[in-house]
Amino acid sequence: MPLPGDAAGLVATVGRQVRAARTFHVELVSVGEDGSRLTAGGDARTDTPAPAAQLTITDEGTTYAVLLDGAAYVRDQNAEVEPGRPWARLARSDLTAVAPSGTPDPRAGAQAADLRRMLSTLLDGVDRAFRQITADTGLAIVRAGSVSGKPADERVDGRTAHRFTGETATNAVPGDDEIAALGRAGVAKLPWKLWVDDRGLPLRFTVSLGRRGSLTTTYTRWGAPVTIQAPPANQVASIG
């Protein structure tokens, strides 16, 4: 497949092929300015009306997440939402429902606040990881930037790939609060590299976040069978 040399054309081609492939496996490594690492890995579908993915996110602890039919199922390895129910099914609108019932009790109120914070933190991590593991974040950065020179042919995990190199101004990426925060912190440019195979499918994307760290996403198993299922109902606590 011919690959356009300009950023907008390249993103349009890759985005179309990503949707046509329907499924993929992904591994993400995010390195912070202090050397801390966040990793996320899992499978996703691109042929569903709402996001569909199952992820394992490892930071200071491990979080498991399933996105399916417009709902997020989240599990923290170190905590249960309810006894015997380690999974929470929730959306941000559900967090207001985490409150004690009956006569107000300061201890119950504090426990509810702690639970809201934990669930909100889990949702933040899931949302961030999902934007990053799909091509959304990478393609948004590439679309808003420019390609430098011609692509170079390289091997990525034993496959032929065309490496595109470019740079994007931080303030040119619309609608991304994290990138906007980088701009406010003084990171003006985002140098990136995108490896694309002969089918127009991304194999790897890397972006430097300046002194704030870097992000590397690797894609494999395009089009392979993927089944994404909700956790067993008897293990799920509904917050809403």
46, two tokens: 């691109």
**Residue in 117, 134, 132, 125 with CA at minimum distance from that of residue 44:** 134
Question: For the ranges 9-18, 133-142, 178-187, 189-198, which has the lowest average pLDDT?
Answer: 133-142
Apex 16 CA angle, 12 and 17, nearest 5: 120
The string of pLDDT tens digits covering residues 113-150 is 776 777 777 677 666 667 666 667 788 899 999 999 99
Q: Are 65 and 48 in contact (CB under 8 A)?
A: no
CA 119 vs CA 51, 92, 171, 180, 237: distances in Å: 19, 9, 30, 24, 12
Which pTM value belongs to this model? 0.83
Q: Cα(217)–Cα(87) distance, rounded to whole angstroms?
A: 27
Residue 107: predicted pLDDT: 53
**Residue in 148, 215, 218, 222 with CA at minimum distance from that of residue 176:** 215
CA 74 vs CA 4, 12, 88: distances in Å: 39, 32, 5
Please tell me which residue, 79 or 217, carries the higher pLDDT value. Answer: 217
Go through the chain and tell me how many residues it has: 240
Place 20 in a pLDDT band, splitting at 50, 70 and 90.
very high
Q: Are 49 and 56 in contact (CB under 8 A)?
A: no
| pLDDT (average), residues 57-74 | 87
Place 97 in a pLDDT band, splitting at 50, 70 and 90.
low
| CATH number listed for the domain at residues 7-238 | 2.50.20.20
Please tell me which residue, 193 or 184, carries the higher pLDDT value. Answer: 193
